[in-house]
């Protein structure tokens, strides 16, 4: 899946893709810093000129004039700083927002197979925290590097102009320190990649453990989990320590090199000032340029090493953004107005090399009530996921109204189906909001759906009725209550096909019977496909499809299948 590792320049290209509508701000941000760079260069030159005016020409007036010019330049610099921070704020906020939304939309459009591989903790971490490293790279690692390179070129140019030998000695220092930071950077990158890998794994692990603290406690696994946590943290710490060592070593090498070069430069400068009669002003300019140059070089080195750590993270984000998505760019595709028939033709599907659905052929007509039955693990849920387009068959095809599912705008398909799974997902908010999910439905429809799904009795017992607030995941109500909200929500949707996967498994017989009794009214001639383990539910249907090891072994009415199929009788304990 992964092709080439990101390098420094490919990272810039990758990040600039998400810079929409911020380019002007980024340009101004750069210009602001460029001005500061120019001030850094001209400051020593102006000071040199000023010193020469008083020392050699006794011209205090000129000294003050140049001083005044310098004052105005720095004043302008202060105003520009304001611009820089203004732009910084805009880029920081906009980029973070764009980038996070981009990642979240990607997540929403992942194929179901990709979604299965997503680790929640790691994904939250990536969207919320690692995105910051992308912005950091944009505002810290690009602008300053360009300006530092400019600084070095100009400083070298000026030194070379004043004296070639001095310039050449200084020039030698550049490739050596670039090389040192490049070598150090490589090791840092390698360790950063490893670190991010371990860290991702740790966050995903942590998320899973936090989610299952009851199970850990009940299985007496708290102590061993803490040991595991300590190991993981230890591994991450060790890698961080290695990165810190590399950082320090490179910085030390560069600092020592800097000192050696400085001594040589000072020596040469002292010699030159005697030999060539350099003015005090020129000597001051040279001394300042030595300092500016050596600072620029160590900044580039540090910047490069910091960038390596950021690139590790950005590389992971890039890999995430390259995951497979469902076809979302489908404005030109046909919109599905109504689902009449659903047909599976020679469908095969497996999560790995083992097939879970084998050569399934079936056609479901509008208005049919179909039960899908079979022992657990035989592929019922997988089959429903194929019908729902969440999984794509590896062979064969799913046809809607006789046409391949892919030929329709997938969003229009999801407008026409409703599905209720065993584990209902509810959101923080009122029950009403959980039923409507942002749609507009008449009050009469809400009342009827609540009645047909046996939810009305639940609501009647609550002080605030439909306005009762649910906590995150609907954890403040029971599994059976959650299932009833899920069913009512599906009934409310103006779908043509309703799919239930063991949707009443947590309900008592009384409430399940209420739902069964009202099923026809609720469906109102819509198609219904249900996976169920209860014979009463099966008997409500027009047709039963029996699966075994991913194959359809019987497809008939409840009465017929009971006659024909041994496996069916065994499954429901019928004689
Ligand atoms: P059923 O709903 O009939 O109980 P499923 O369709 O859920 O069965 O699962 C069928 C088979 O596919 C099982 O052997 C199960 O282990 C496997 N399976 C289900 N979901 C996944 C998944 N996300 N990744 C890998 N294997 C899976
Ligand atoms: Mg299942």
Largest CA distance in the chain: 120
Tell me which residue has its CA closest to atom 18 in ligand 1: 351
Angle at 473 between CA 419 and CA 516, to 5 degrees: 40
pLDDT tens for the chain, 575 residues: list them. 455 788 999 999 999 999 988 999 999 999 999 999 999 999 999 999 999 999 999 899 999 999 999 999 999 999 999 999 999 999 999 999 999 999 999 999 888 888 888 888 889 999 999 999 999 999 999 999 999 999 999 999 998 888 888 888 888 878 887 888 888 888 889 999 999 999 999 999 999 999 888 899 989 999 999 999 999 999 999 999 999 998 888 888 888 888 888 888 888 889 888 888 888 888 888 889 988 988 898 898 889 889 999 999 999 999 999 988 877 666 788 889 999 999 999 999 998 888 999 999 999 999 999 999 999 999 999 999 999 998 989 999 999 999 999 889 888 899 999 999 988 889 999 999 999 998 888 888 999 999 999 999 999 999 999 899 998 888 889 889 999 999 999 999 989 999 999 998 888 999 999 999 999 999 999 999 999 999 999 999 999 999 999 999 999 999 999 999 999 999 998 87
- Ligand with the closest atom to the CA of 385: 1
* Tokens 């020593």 belong to residue: 44
Q: What are the angstrom distances between the C-alpha of 383 and each of 154, 254, 297?
A: 68, 63, 62
378 C-beta closer than 6 A to ligand 1: yes
- 513 class by beta-carbon count within 10 Å (0-12 exposed, 13-18 middle, 19+ buried): middle
Q: How many CA atoms lie within 13 A of 363 on its CB side?
A: 8
Establish whether residue 109 lines the binding site of ligand 1, counting it when its CB lies within 6 angstroms of any ligand atom.
Answer: no
Determine the distance separating the centroid of ligand 2 and the alpha carbon of 486, expressed in angstroms: 17
* pTM for the structure as a whole: 0.82
| DSSP designation for 379 | S
Query: What is the distance in A from the centroid of ligand 1 to the CA of 390?
Result: 14
| CA of residue 377 to ligand 1 center, whole Å | 6
Q: Is the CB of 336 under 6 A from ligand 1?
A: no
Q: Give me ligand 1 centre to Cα 144, in Å.
A: 53
* 3-state SS, one letter per residue, for 173-219: HHHHHHHHHHHHHHHHHHHHHHHHHHHHHHHHHHHHHHHCHHHHHHC
| Ligand 1 atom 26, closest CA | 351
Residues 6+ apart with CB under 8 A from 559: none
Write down the number of H helices and E strands in the chain.
Answer: 22, 12
Contact status, residue 348 vs residue 395, Cβ threshold 8 Å: yes
Locate the ligand 1 atom nearest the alpha carbon of residue 116 and give its number: 23
Residue nearest to atom 16 of ligand 1 (CA): 377
In this structure, the residue with its CA closest to atom 7 of ligand 1 is 381
Is residue 3 lining ligand 1, measured as CB closer than 6 Å? no
Report how far residue 445's alpha carbon sits from residue 447's, in angstroms, rounded to the nearest whole number: 5
Rounded Cα distance between 327 and 392, Å, is 12
Q: What is the pLDDT of residue 163?
A: 85
What is the sign of the dihedral through the CA atoms of 355, 360, 365 and 370? Answer: negative
Distance CA 50, CA 44 (A): 10
C-alpha dist (Å) from residue 167 to 37, 290, 318, 507: 20, 10, 43, 85
Q: Is the CB of 550 under 6 A from ligand 1?
A: no
Ligand 1 atom closest to the Cα of residue 550 is 10
> Does 422 contact ligand 1 (Cβ within 6 A)?
no
The residue with tokens 């083992």 is 354
In this prediction, residue 143 carries a pLDDT of: 93
Cα pseudo-dihedral 420, 423, 426, 428, rounded to 10: 180
Closest Cα to atom 15 of ligand 1:
377
Q: How many whole angstroms from 84 Cα to the centroid of ligand 1?
A: 55
Measure the CA–CA gap between 526 and 476, rounded to whole angstroms: 32
Angle, CA of 158, 162 and 164, to the nearest 5°: 95
Q: How far apart are CA 190 and CA 315, in angstroms?
A: 12
Instruction: Determine whether the shortest distance from the Cβ of 184 to ligand 1 is under 6 A.
Output: no
Specify the pLDDT at position 329: 66
Residue whose Cα lies nearest atom 22 of ligand 1: it is 351
Beta strands in 313-448 (DSSP E): 342-349, 357-364, 369-373, 395-400, 403-404, 417-420, 429-430
Q: Is 47 exposed, middle or buried (0-12, 13-18, 19+ CB in 10 A)?
A: middle
Binding site membership of 376 for ligand 1 (Cβ less than 6 Å): yes
Instruction: Give the Å distance between the CA of 215 and the centre of ligand 2.
Output: 22
| Residue 185 CB–ligand 1 contact under 6 Å | no
Does the beta carbon of 118 lie inside 6 Å of ligand 1?
no
Give the per-residue pLDDT at 1: 45
* CB-neighbour burial class of residue 566 (10 A; exposed 0-12, middle 13-18, buried 19+): exposed
């Amino acid at each position: 899946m992964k092709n080439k590792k990101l390098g420094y320049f490919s990272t810039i290209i990758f990040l600039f893709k998400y810079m929409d509508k911020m380019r002007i701000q980024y340009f101004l941000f750069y210009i602001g810093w460029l001005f500061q760079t120019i001030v850094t260069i001209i400051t020593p030159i102006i000071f040199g000129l000023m010193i020469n005016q008083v020392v050699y020409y006794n011209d205090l007036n000129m000294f003050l004039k140049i001083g005044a010019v310098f004052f105005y330049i720095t004043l302008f610099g202060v105003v520009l700083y304001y611009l820089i921070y203004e732009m910084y704020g805009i880029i920081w906020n906009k980029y973070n927002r764009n980038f996070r939304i981009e990642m979240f939309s990607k997540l929403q459009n992942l194929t179901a197979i990709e979604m299965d591989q997503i680790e929640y903790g790691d994904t939250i971490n990536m969207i919320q925290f690692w995105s910051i490293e992308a912005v950091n790279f944009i505002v810290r690692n690009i602008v300053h590097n360009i300006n530092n390179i400019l600084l070095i070129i100009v400083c070298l140019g000026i030194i070379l102009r004043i004296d070639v030998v001095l310039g050449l000695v200084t020039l030698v220092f550049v490739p050596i320190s670039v090389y040192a930071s490049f070598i150090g950077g490589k090791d840092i990158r390698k360790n950063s990649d490893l670190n991010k890998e371990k860290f991702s794994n740790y966050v995903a692990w942590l998320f899973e453990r936090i989610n299952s603290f009851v199970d850990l406690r009940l299985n007496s696994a708290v102590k061993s989990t803490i040991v595991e946590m300590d190991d993981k943290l230890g591994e991450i710490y060790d890698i961080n320590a290695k990165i810190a060592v590399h950082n320090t070593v490179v910085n030390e090498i560069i600092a020592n090199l800097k000192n050696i070069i400085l001594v040589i430069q000072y020596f040469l400068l002292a010699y030159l000032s005697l030999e060539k009669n350099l003015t005090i002003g020129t000597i001051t300019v040279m001394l300042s340029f030595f300092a500016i140059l050596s600072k620029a070089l160590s900044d580039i080195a540090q910047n490069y090493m910091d960038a390596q750590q950021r690139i590790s993270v950005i590389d992971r984000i890039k890999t995430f953004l390259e995951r497979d998505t469902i076809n979302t760019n489908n404005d030109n595709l046909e919109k599905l107005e109504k689902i009449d028939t659903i047909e599976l033709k020679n469908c095969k599907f497996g999560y790995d090399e083992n097939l879970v659905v084998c050569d399934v052929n079936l056609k479901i007509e509008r208005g049919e009530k179909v039960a899908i039955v079979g022992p657990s693990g035989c592929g019922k849920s997988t089959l429903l996921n194929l019908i729902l387009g969440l999984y794509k068959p590896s062979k064969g095809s799913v046809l809607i109204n006789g046409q391949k599912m892919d030929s329709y705008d997938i969003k229009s398909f999801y407008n026409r189906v409703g599905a209720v799974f065993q584990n209902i997902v509810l959101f923080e908010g009122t029950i009403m909001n959980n039923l409507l999910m942002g749609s507009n439905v008449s009050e009469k429809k809400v009342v009827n759906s609540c009645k047909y799904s046996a939810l009305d009795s639940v609501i009647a017992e609550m002080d605030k009725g439909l306005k009762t607030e649910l906590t995150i995941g609907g954890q403040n109500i029971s599994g059976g209550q959650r299932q009833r909200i899920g069913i009512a929500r599906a009934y409310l949707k103006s779908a043509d096909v309703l799919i239930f996967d063991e949707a009443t498994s947590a309900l008592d017989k009384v409430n399940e019977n209420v739902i069964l009794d009202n099923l026809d009214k609720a469906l109102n001639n819509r198609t219904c496909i249900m996976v169920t383990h209860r014979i009463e539910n099966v008997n409500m249907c027009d047709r039963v499809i029996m699966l075994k090891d991913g194959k359809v072994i019987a497809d008939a009415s409840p009465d017929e299948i009971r006659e024909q199929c041994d496996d069916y009788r065994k499954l429901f304990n019928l004689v």
